[in-house]
């Protein structure tokens, strides 16, 4: 009897829509950012596939710490991306290891501004050396 009552209650809840699945998270998309990082300048250019922010400049924030070790080093801090036109941008918190062969790491979006306000996302980073003083930081992941 109790089992029948529970089944009836569940059927009533499902029929009235009171028992609905959780609200889906906003749909994300794969992101690809290439920052042409120069160790000789304060800011570098970047390209991305983020709508409304396909080009711009990137700089280290004030909270950056680079620790050097015998095998390379560790970078921890924020990167500030400003989209061309300056009306939008985003900040990525980055943790990376680096050495002679480049760098690897992980990132999360710390904040967005302008049309990118509320931007969320995360992914991985691979730094590819292109000279003694520059590398291409390739950020891949998902944003929403």
Fold for 25-143, please state it.
AOC barrel-like (2.40.350)
- Return the bridge partners of 141, or none: 31, 123
Are 35 and 139 in contact by the 8 Å Cβ rule? The answer is yes
- Going by C-alpha positions, the residue among 71, 49, 46, 76 that lies closest to residue 61 is 76
Residue ranges of the domains in the chain? 25-143
Tens of each residue's pLDDT in the chain, 144 residues? 444 443 443 433 333 344 444 444 457 899 999 999 998 999 999 999 999 999 999 999 999 999 988 889 999 999 999 999 989 999 999 999 998 899 999 999 999 999 999 999 999 999 999 998 999 999 999 999
pTM for this predicted structure: 0.80
H-state helical runs in the chain: 2-16
**Cα separation, 92 vs 80, whole angstroms:** 7
User: What ranges make up the beta strands (E) of the chain?
Assistant: 29-38, 43-50, 53-60, 65-69, 72-83, 89-99, 102-113, 121-131, 134-143
């Amino acid at each position: 009897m109790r089992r029948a009552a529970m089944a009836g209650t569940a059927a009533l809840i499902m029929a009235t829509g009171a028992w609905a699945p959780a609200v889906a998270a906003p749909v994300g998309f794969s992101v690809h950012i290439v920052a042409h990082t120069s160790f000789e300048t304060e800011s570098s250019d970047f390209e991305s596939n983020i709508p409304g922010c396909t080009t711009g400049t990137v700089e280290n924030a004030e909270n950056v710490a680079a620790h050097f070790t015998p095998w390379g080093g560790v970078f921890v801090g924020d990167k500030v991306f400003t989209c061309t036109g300056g009306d939008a941008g985003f900040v990525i918190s980055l943790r990376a290891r680096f050495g002679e062969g480049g760098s690897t790491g992980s990132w999360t979006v710390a904040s967005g501004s302008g049309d990118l306000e509320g931007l969320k996302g995360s992914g991985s980073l691979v730094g590819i050396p292109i000279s003694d003083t520059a590398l291409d930081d390739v950020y891949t992941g998902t944003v929403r």
